[in-house]
Structure 1
Amino acid sequence: MLRHLLWKEFTEILRDKSIVSSVSSVSLLMVTLGLTTLKYLSTHLETFILYMTPSIGVLVGFSLSYRFTREKIDGTIETLLSTPLTLKELWLSKVVGLTVLSYVISLASTLTLGLVKNVPVPMDVNTVIYLVVSVPVSIASSIGLLGYLHYLLGMKQVQALNYIVFFTLFITLYFIVKELSVKAVITHVSVTHTLTMALAILGITYYLVSRLSEERVITSIN
């Protein structure tokens, strides 16, 4: 059941027209960064990897997070939850699907930047672990928490939440761009701290979703 749901969700995400706008937004961001921080990106690519790579993934995940409320909007959430499918499985399938896509786009953005600037991506152990493990887990924790809130809150509250998240991301990106002028090094400490925090958020969110009643989700439609 879960494997079928994961595949179904992933294929639907790939057919989602919103992917085009997400990729366009990321491309615009990359072009802007290239024009405004040109002199830093060539020498501070590791700083970009540390801060911007996960941020791009979270940004893409946020732009597609409406998929958590799709069944609410369509009015099919009650029908879905009356099947053997559990809310936890539904949440997990969306988190995995959105995380995979968001991670691929963020990783592709980083690699593309390295190619354009003719700067090789650092391949030391800490950077590789950060890119392969810490970044996708960080993206998943953000998407998972956002998905839980979408299930918990009513539709009007979700709209307010989206505005708050959007402005928070905007402000965060503003300060991150300012940090690109400072050379950073990805150490085992930064990798461990990032991964530990992301796993903690993901674990707590998973527990909260498992405790969330299906009746609460259904009644939050109105």
Structure 2
Amino acid sequence: MLRVIIWKEIKETIRDRNMLSSALSVTLLMVMLNMTAFRQLIANLETFVLYMAPCIGVLVGFSLSYRFTREKQEGTIETLLCTPLTLKELWLSKVIGLTIPSYVVTLATVTILILIRGHGIEETVAVYILLVIPMFIASAIGLLGYLQYVLGMKQVQMLNYVVFFTLFAILYAVVRKLSLETTTISWSNICLALMLPLIILTTTYYLVARLSKEKIILTIN
């Protein structure tokens, strides 16, 4: 049952117009960076992968996470809550189903840069791309999904505005800072970077496990 929900979520996300707009937005961002004084950020692959790639993945994940709210708006959440699936399984299936497309967009961006660069990548860079980046995306989507479950519709709208402007402020700060320095990915970087999403995911899973279905129903109106 869980596998069916995950596959259904992936297919619906791929057909979603937000998926196309997210891919176009990432493309536009890369073009803008390449045309400005920040082109050296793209030239340094490890710097881009370490900082920019997770930001891009989280931005794409944020644009797709509205699907949590849409289920409340359309009333389908009530039907899903009546199925044998537990709330943890429902939340987990949506997190996985939204993380995979978001990660694919991010991975495609990094792959294009690697091909343009024309060189191989270090083992640490590969591990960071394959492990840390999807964990960052999943933790962000998971936390946003939980908040959209427990907040009312008007509160969710306010949350979206706050998250949107916060993400762009962080992205701008990262670009400004990294344009002045070069970074390499080490095993210590990987361990430190992996700790944050693991803590967020574990905490969010614990909160979802303690969340009642009645609480979600009460936030629909």
The TM-score, its normalising length taken from structure 2, stands at 0.95
For 2:138, the equivalent position in structure 1 comes to 140
Alignment of 1:163-178 (within 5 A): 163-178=161-176
Shift of 1:115: 2.8
CA separation of 1:134 and 1:215: change in aligned 2, threshold 3 A: same
Shift of 1:194: 1.0
Alignment of 1:17-166 (within 5 A): 17-36=17-36, 37-42=38-43, 44-116=44-116, 118-120=117-119, 122=121, 124-166=122-164
For 2:7, the equivalent position in structure 1 comes to 7
CA separation of 1:121 and 1:107: change in aligned 2, threshold 3 A: farther
For 1:190, the equivalent position in structure 2 comes to 189
Percent of paired sites with the same residue = 57
For 1:217, the equivalent position in structure 2 comes to 216
Q: Deviations over 1:81-121 (max 9, x none)?
A: 112122211111111011111111111111212333x3535
The TM-score, its normalising length taken from structure 1, stands at 0.94
Aligned partners of 2:202, 2:54: CA distance in 1, in Å? 19
Q: Contact 1:22–1:60 at 8 Å: present in 2 too? A: yes
Aligned partners of 1:38, 1:10: CA distance in 2, in Å? 33
Note the aligned Cα RMSD (angstroms): 1.3
Q: Which moved more, 1:136-145 or 1:68-77?
A: 68-77
Q: Contact 2:57–2:137 at 8 Å: present in 1 too? A: yes
Task: Figure out how many residues of one structure are paired with residues of the other and give that number.
Answer: 219
**What are structure 2's unaligned runs of at least 5 residues?**
none
Shift of 1:180: 2.8
